[in-house]
A and B are shown apart, each in its own frame.
Chain A
Amino acid sequence: MAVCAAIIGKDNSPKFFVTINPDEELQFQYRVLSSLDIVEDKLNSGVKGGADTKELYLGMLLSLEAHKIYGYVTNTKIKFIIVVDSTNMVLRDNEIRSMFRKIHSEYADIVSNPFYIPGEPISSKNFTTNIKNIMTGTV
């Protein structure tokens, strides 16, 4: 299971942030922020392949002592970040990938919600629950 998930807007401001352990949120915010350096770099340097083979999954961004950070960028430059414990061996690349895809579809749903203003931080409780379920693998 992932320990933290974040949705970052195209202006690199956090739109949504959730951690399994709320006490560690600030530390995770710093980590996710650091990983954005790598995302930015990948986005700036990356003209890989044609426009058709657009890969949204960025792979592992950072491998720290205690955590591994994965990234995913939508075509509209919305970034999804997932933080996983380094000791977690269950989650492989494929699981992370599918987790991102689920988050992406949740995000697409929330953006379609007429009561949500795109670009504002997401505060929907339902959304938070759904993302937490994705993180813990209960979906």
Chain B
Amino acid sequence: MHPGIIQSDSDIPHELCVKPLALVGVTGLDIINNAVHKSIWETFSSNRRIERAPVLFKLVGNVQEFPIMKPKRTSYDWYIPKGILKKNWINKHLYEIPAVIVVFYDLDWNDSSWSEKMIECASRVQSMRAALEGRGTRITIVLIQNSPPQPPGEDALSSERAIALCSSCEINSQSLFVLPHGDHLQGYAVRLENAFYEYAQTYYHNEAKHVKSHKEHLNKNSHQYLFVRHQFKMGFLNELKQDAHTAHKHYTHAYNSLLEIRIVDTNALEIRTLAGFVNYKLCRLLFALNLPRDAISQFKSHVDRFKARMGFHELTFEHYAWLSKQYSVFGDIFDEAVKLGLPAVQTQHPGIYYQQAAQYSIQRKKFSQELCSNIIAYPQPDPLQGANHMEFYGQRPWRPGKLSAEPPDPHLESNGIQALQFLEKQINHSNLIIALYGLAISQYKTYRCPRTRRHLVLQMADEYYDSRDYGKALTLYTHMLLDFRNEKWWDILSTVLEKAILCAYLTANVQDYVGLAVEILGANINTPLNEKRRIYENLMRLLKKQIPFGDPKIPQDILQNAIILWQPVFSEKSFNIALDMTNITASVSVKARFMKKTYEVDQNVIVEIFVRSTCPFPLTFSKISVTVNAQNQNSEYTVTDSADVSFNFHKDEVKRYVVEFIADCNDINKDIQINSVNVFLGNSPECCLDLKYPASVESNGNNIELYHFKHNADKLDFDNVQALSQATVVPRESKLRVDFLHQIPALLGEWYEIKVVVTNEELYEIVDLKIEAWIEEEIANVELSLQPSDKHKKLNLVLNNPSHLKPTDQISTDFFVRSNLICKCNIQVKLTYTLSGEKQILSIKSEKLALAVVEPFEVSTKYLSTLMAEIEKFYIGEEFGVMNYIKFTSPWLIIVEDTSFDYIHPVSPAEENRSSQISGKTFNNEEIGAELHLATCNKPNDDFVNVGHYTIRWKRENGHSTTTTLAVTGLPCDWVAVGLKMFAPAHGYVRTSMVIEYHVENRSHELVRLELSMDASEAFMFSGSKQFSVSLLPQSTRILQYNLNPLIAGSVALPKFSMTISENTENGPPVVSQDQLNLLTGRTLPTHVYVMPQMKGEAKLPDSIPSPENVAVIG
């Protein structure tokens, strides 16, 4: 038997995949014994992040063997290459031949044994140089020093010694570096490695140039391989140099040269392999150069070119393995580029390539099964001996390095092919395919292709099925069913179901088998009828606890295994399967609905259940039940099995069942829901299948109304049954009569009485009657109370009432509402009671009472002077009248019980006995009541003075008294220095003298001089000073007295009294202005007096004014 694992030619070798880095050899570091050396090495070698120079450090011993240089060829005339690319070449340049050698050496400039150490260093350099004889590798020295570095040029000793060291080591002074060991090691290391990298680039550049120089020796006929080889090498060296553009150019040349080679049977594999390599490099570089389109088109043309080149027919699988690898590797590169930030799109992403790779792997598997099935033995001697140590890539181990011209040995050839076929047979293709599908699926998921992904999952499941992993296949199939169901791709769903039920059978998965069977028997699934019959019979067998028959197409050995698996399934006693039919469009469909949206508590709740079977064969159910969810409990109600109820169904038969029950009183005002409908199949108690349907099936998105147009022969119209899965339990309709006795509208501020009269019109006595009242929308200023007083106010009220009420009895109770706001409010009254009939039934009756609140009256106030003229200002010391008008606006009669006026300082009453002038009066709507009081104000104020509060106590006729208090605002108040009052009798008589007095008051603290005059009048003869100059002392009053003798009767104008300020005022401006004086006379002095005709008979003189004692009388 062949022992080893042969590296497949289709794989991309590791050395090709790694990113080429310039190789720098490091020597002279003893990292095991020397801590300093160790830290230096670690600084260089570890933590290589992306921003560091693309350099690979390799620790090299002091005595290192490097690959020996081949002797230089002077002529290619007779050289015939044995292959295209040697297997060791890439590795050699990646890991073995350094571009730069760095010799580390501990040496300070002022070292005591300088010269000895210098010689030792030089000898180390020499030995390195000898080992690298002939190579262009750059040798550099790094001196590890303890002393900190000096600025260049300042230290004569160091520069002198540096020159000496350079010359003794025979190196360029630029190749000598100093590494001070101490702080900033990282910084020095970065600078050093950049220098090394620069040298390495030069090295690789020269190497590439060297390879290029061979070109002129080649000729097109015999050296076609070398064209490819050299271009490849140049490409690779440029990659090491990190020159992607040049590398790409050379690889392109290599690829084109490769295509020029004539392909024959013997070199087909080699060329294909190499083409794969070069294409890999090209695509990777193109992605790195951010040319993804070019990469894709390069790959496509590459695949197109080689797709048809099958090679040996016996090894066709090898070709497909190669193609699959090409795709999967391209997928990898693409994915890598995406991870580095390349944006991919829905139609162009790595998943497509993985998918294709999987397809080719399937081809490979097909051919492998076709070609390798007969191979039983591995040929001896081993034709694949040494396959892993071939000199060239892509050559057959049994004829290495053979030139294409030589004819192959047919026996050896067929042995080799047999060996490869044998090895191919050992491979588990399914695993490869499944892995590729896995990659593709995750990519398609990323790029939002759920349906494509589903298809791939199905293919993956097919592959699991193929590899006889039925359990996994079943899982994948069943997971995909839902989406196909939702989008109604019945054809696809049918095929998937058929595959899935096969898997379920083969794994003896009863649950899935039954579920799938019920679905397959449905009308939507277009499985052939004979197949459906087989499944139906199997389902029936299962319900009788018998092993179902397998599909006759299944090979015998698999069938045997399945039957063995089925054996233990029925050994257990009871055998109950519950299936959730929520998302399954099965052969049995169910709809359930309530007949009404609301059910009163004393009515029967009726649930209608429609069952339809689309199974082409008769089905008989053992039980149908419905589960109803209520707030507190779930109850199951079973369709009663009576004579007229049949559970037998034929194809497309629809039957209607009715379940009735009485709702629970506790569920009043709560929802009840149909939770599920359960349909049971299977008669025996130990074997039963429970199909659980949800209450509301989602409508299928189309306009349901349109289904009414569908032809429906005779039966129940199942499609048009509208589900109603929720209903509300409501209290029974109450037969209580509730009347409200009240007098609308309510008046603002009053306790408004509402009388509730309840009449029992029920048939039975009611108990536990509770009447509640509350305001519908809470308004802050509306209050409820049981008493017409503030103490009991509440927002939510329980009325006082007897709790028992016999039939036809009547009770009444009342409550009060008060609103301090003009508004409209709704009062809810709820009556809760228990009807004590045959059964105690809780009943509720709700009533709503709409209430408008209006003002009972409006109050307006006017201010009057003593002459009853309206005034605009108060004056200190002068009396004014406060006139309150109450305008009644209530439709109901209002009785004013009392009114009062409370003055606020500085306003005070000017009357001694105040009493209400309208108390006890009754007012109708639109009537006005007014009362007048006198007051004075004794403080000046520019603003409106608050006069006081006007309080009105009022009530409706037979009502409760209400107190309304209103604030009354007055007028601004002024102070005037001079006051004037006139005292006169109410009327005079013709030719009878009457006395009038003018009191002129000085209210200021200064002397006031005034000129007073009395104009002559035709209506009067009068005595007294006609013109008078008066000086008023502060705070004094002067009285002027006139004797008037009226000459004519009627309302007669009085002689005009006027005051002017004396002109000869000496000190300062006058305390009073002429305007003020004019206004004063205007508002205080009456202009007219009534004069009566002389009385017949004895004339009675009116009372003369009693002269106050403290007033001087001016004669």
Question: By DSSP majority rule, is chain A's interface helix, strand, loop, or mixed?
Answer: mixed
Give A33 to B1045 CA distance when docked, in angstroms.
Answer: 126
> Does B495 interact with chain A (Cβ within 8 Å)?
yes
How long is the Cα–Cα vector from A119 to B488 in the complex, in angstroms?
12
A37:B448 contact, CB within 8 angstroms = yes
User: Smallest CB–CB gap between B331 and chain A, Å?
Assistant: 16
Please determine whether B710 and A117 come into contact, CB atoms closer than 8 angstroms. yes
B455 contacts A34, C-beta separation under 8 Å: yes
Segment 419-462 of B: residues with Cβ below 8 Å from A: 448-452, 454-455
A43-81 contact mask (Cβ, 8 Å, vs B): 1 or 0? 000000000000000000110010000000000000000
* Distance from B309 Cβ to chain A, minimum over Cβ atoms (Å): 17
List 18 A-B residue pairs with CB atoms under 8 Å apart, sorted by A's residue number: A10-B701, A11-B487, A12-B487, A14-B488, A14-B489, A26-B495, A30-B492, A34-B452, A37-B450, A37-B451, A37-B452, A38-B346, A38-B347, A61-B347, A114-B709, A118-B706, A119-B702, A120-B702
Check B491 against A34 for contact (C-beta < 8 Å): no
Q: Are A117 and B709 in contact (CB under 8 A)?
A: yes
Whether A13 is near chain B, meaning CB under 8 Å from some CB there, is yes
Q: How far is the CB of B431 from chain A (nearest CB, A)?
A: 24
When each residue 693-724 of chain B gets 1 if its CB lies under 8 Å from chain A and 0 otherwise, what string results?
Answer: 00000001111001101100000000000000
Q: A34-B452, A117-B706, A117-B710 are in contact. Are A13 and B491 (CB under 8 A)?
A: no
A109 at interface, CB cutoff 8 A:
no
Indicate whether A24 reaches chain B with its CB closer than 8 angstroms: no
> Once the chains are docked, how many angstroms separate the CA of A91 from the CA of B701?
36
Q: Which residues of chain B are within 8 angstroms of A33 by Cβ–Cβ distance?
A: 451-452, 454-455, 487, 489, 492
* CB of B534, distance to nearest CB on chain A (Å): 21
Tell whether A23 is near chain B: CB-to-CB under 8 Å. Answer: no
Q: Do residues A11 and B488 form an inter-chain contact, with CB atoms below 8 A?
A: yes
Contact call B487/A13, Cβ cutoff below 8 A: yes
User: How big is chain A's contact interface, by range?
Assistant: 20 to 34
A25 in contact (CB, < 8 A): yes
Q: Which residues of B contact A118 (CB under 8 A)?
A: 702-703, 706
A105-139: which residues lie under 8 A (CB-CB) from chain B? 114, 117-120
CA distance A114 to B710 in the complex (A): 10
Query: In the bound complex, what is the Cα–Cα distance between A14 and B489 (angstroms)?
Result: 6
Chain B residues within 8 Å of A, Cβ to Cβ: 346-347, 356, 448-452, 454-455, 487-489, 491-492, 495, 700-703, 706-707, 709-710
Whether B455 lies near A119 (C-beta < 8 A) is: no
A61 to B488, CA, bound (A): 22
A61 to B454 alpha-carbon distance, docked (Å): 18
Q: Chain B residues near A117 (CB, 8 Å)?
A: 702, 706-707, 709-710
- Report the bound CA distance from A25 to B356 in whole Å: 21
Using CB atoms and an 8 Å cutoff, list the residues of chain A in contact with chain B. Answer: 10-14, 17, 25-26, 29-30, 33-34, 36-38, 41, 61-62, 65, 114, 117-120
- State how many angstroms separate the Cβ of B440 from the closest Cβ of chain A: 12
- What total of A-B pairs shows CB separation below 8 Å? 62
Is the pair A26, B702 in contact by a Cβ cutoff of 8 Å? no
List the B side residues contacting A10 at CB < 8 Å: 701
CB-nearest residue of chain B relative to A120?
A: B702
- Residues from chain B with Cβ under 8 Å of A114 in the complex: 709
Closest Cβ of chain B to A10, distance in Å, is 8
Q: Please give the distance in Å from B303's CB to the nearest CB on chain A.
A: 10
| Inter-chain contacts of A26 with B (CB < 8 A) | 491-492, 495
**Closest CB-CB distance, B484 to chain A, in whole Å?**
9
**Assembled-state Cα–Cα distance A62/B349 (Å):** 13
Which residues of the partner chain B approach A120 to less than 8 Å between Cβ atoms?
Answer: 702
Most B-side CB within 10 Å, residue of A10, A12, A30, A117: A30
CB-based contact A41/B346 at 8 Å: yes
CB pair A36 B451 closer than 8 Å: yes
Residue on A nearest B701 in the bound complex, by CB = A11
Report B56 CB to chain A, min CB distance, Å.
41
Specify which chain B residues have a CB less than 8 angstroms from the CB of A37 in the assembled complex.
346, 448-452
Write the nearest CB–CB distance from B945 to chain A, whole angstroms. Answer: 71
B491 — which chain A residues lie within 8 A by C-beta? 14, 17, 25-26, 29
A120 to B489, CA, bound (A): 13
Q: For B449, give the chain A residue with the smallest CB separation.
A: A37
Which A residues lie within 8 Å of B710 (CB)? 117
**Smallest CB-CB separation from A39: which chain B residue?**
B451
Give CA–CA (A65, B488) in the complex, Å: 27
CB neighbours of B700 from chain A (8 A)? 119
Known A-B contacts A26-B495, A117-B702, A117-B709; the reply to A13 vs B489 at CB < 8 A is yes
Residue of B nearest to A14 (CB): B489
- Asked if A119 contacts B451 (CB within 8 A), the reply is no
Closest chain-B Cβ to A83's Cβ sits at a distance in Å of 15
Knowing that A11-B488, A13-B487, A26-B495 are A-B contacts, what are 6 other residue pairs whose CB atoms are under 8 Å apart, sorted by A's residue number? Answer: A14-B489, A29-B489, A29-B492, A30-B492, A114-B709, A118-B703
Q: How far is the CB of B299 from chain A (nearest CB, A)?
A: 14
A33 CA to B356 CA, complexed, in Å? 18
**A117 to B454 Cα, complex, angstroms:** 30
Q: How far is the CA of A66 from the CA of B364 in the complex (A)?
A: 19
Q: Which residues of A contact B487 (CB under 8 A)?
A: 11-13, 33
Q: How far is the CA of A136 from the CA of B479 in the complex (A)?
A: 38
CA distance A134 to B710 in the complex (A): 29
- How distant is the Cα of A11 from the Cα of B487 in the complex, in angstroms? 7
**In the bound complex, what is the Cα–Cα distance between A118 and B492 (angstroms)?**
22
Enumerate chain A residues within 8 angstroms of B703, measured Cβ to Cβ. Answer: 118-119
The CA-CA distance from A80 to B495 in the complex, in Å, is: 24
Name the residue in B451, B701, B702, B703 with the highest tally of chain A Cβ atoms < 10 Å from its Cβ: B451
Complex CA gap A26/B459 in Å reads: 13
Most B CB atoms within 10 A — which of A33, A61, A117, A120? A33
Q: Are A34 and B702 in contact, with the CB atoms below 8 A? A: no
Contacts of B448 in A (CB 8 A): 37, 41
Instruction: Compute how far the CA of A12 lies from the CA of B488 in the bound complex, rounded to whole angstroms.
Output: 8
Residues of B within 8 A of A25 (CB): 491
Considering only CB atoms, which chain B residue lies closest to A12 in the complex?
Answer: B487
Give Cα A41–Cα B707 distance, bound, in whole angstroms.
32
CA distance A114 to B711 in the complex (A): 12
Closest chain A residue to B488, Cβ basis: A13
Give the distance to chain A from B105, nearest Cβ to Cβ, in Å.
63
CB distance from B614 to the nearest CB of A (A): 16
When chains A and B are docked, how far (Å) is the Cα of A105 from the Cα of B702? 21
* CA A41 to CA B448, docked complex, whole Å: 8
The 10 A-B pairs of least Cβ separation, nearest first, read: A119-B702, A13-B488, A37-B449, A34-B452, A12-B487, A33-B451, A117-B706, A11-B701, A30-B455, A37-B451
The residues of A that contact B356 with a CB separation of less than 8 Å are 65
Output the least CB separation between A73 and chain B (Å).
16
